Structure 1
Amino acid sequence: MSRVQAVDHLVISVSDFAASKAFYSGLFTFLGFDLMDEMAEAMGWSNGNTRFWIYQADSRGKKHPYRKGDVGFHHYAWSLNSRRDVDELQAWLEQEGARIVDPAGEYYTDYYAVFFLDPDGLKLEGMHYGKEQ
């Protein structure tokens, strides 16, 4: 029987490739990802374990802006090494003017996270599970 080892990559379609390229390039640099490849309307990053790609939505796709609550993507979370890393991510997001929807805090027992939006309103999360070492 086949067994999943890990999530290999996530690919999202974006409405404005230039705006998303700027946002994700900064975010992934901050999170320690390296650029894998860049094409006219696609770009991907990797940290050696996870790969993340953005693609320009086609003209039909751009007519249907993302709305959390519709069928499809809800949010994507990156596991960070510490609560301090979550706080540093929030500070970086604030400096960049990103929209933070739920500030850094403990949302469940031993679950510390910050939730924010990308340029299309896709919800993203930086989180740490467990007590601080």
Structure 2
Amino acid sequence: MILHHLALSVVCLEKSQKFYDAVLMPLGYELVEQNEAILVYDKDNECEFLLYKSDPKLSGDAHQLYQPGFHHIALKASNAEQVDAIYKSIVRLFGKNHIINAPKNYPEYHGSRYYAAFVLDPSNLKIEIMYQEKS
């Protein structure tokens, strides 16, 4: 299965654009559409990443693991250095309050060669930036 697109509803498009520019552009995505209701990022016409402005009346609690709904998305970096660079961009742009876990190895995830950082976007959505070295 190949992912065609991912659509997220976000609280603030302006803050989200700043965040996702820092996360997605180093991974090869480009901002291809933008208006007051949506941002669309695309990578080589393969996978779109859509951000819709949410309706504040529909806001609810953040999803918890094993609760129905969104838990997190993992975005694959080209190498561990790219994970570190994106992490540093998020800290510089948004501060440490958007960090869940700084980059580190996670041997419990798919073996000892799994390196990742976990961050929160401006709408409190959990985003993982990861790299897995091939054995």
TM-score (norm 2): 0.82
Of the three residues 3, 17, 28, the one matched with 1:7 is: 3
Q: CA deviation at 1:87?
A: 1.3
1:40-85: per-residue Cα shift (whole Å, max 9, x none)? 21110012132101101124323x2x41314211101111111111
Query: After TM superposition, which residue ranges in structure 1, 4 or more long, deviate above 6 angstroms?
Result: none
AA partner of residue 67 (structure 1) = A
Q: Number of aligned residue pairs: give it.
A: 126
| Structure 1 residue 23 corresponds to structure 2 residue 26 | no
Identity of aligned residues (%): 27
Q: How far apart are the structure 2 equivalents of 1:18 and 1:72?
A: 24
| Structure 1 residue 121 corresponds to structure 2 residue 124 | yes
Q: How far apart are the structure 2 equivalents of 1:22 and 1:130?
A: 29
Q: How far apart are the structure 1 equivalents of 2:19 and 2:84?
A: 19
Q: CA deviation at 1:21?
A: 2.7
Structure 1, unmatched stretches of 5+, are none
TM-score (norm 1): 0.83
The alignment's C-alpha RMSD in Å is: 1.9
AA partner of residue 117 (structure 2) = V
AA partner of residue 89 (structure 1) = I
2:89 is paired with a residue whose SS is helix
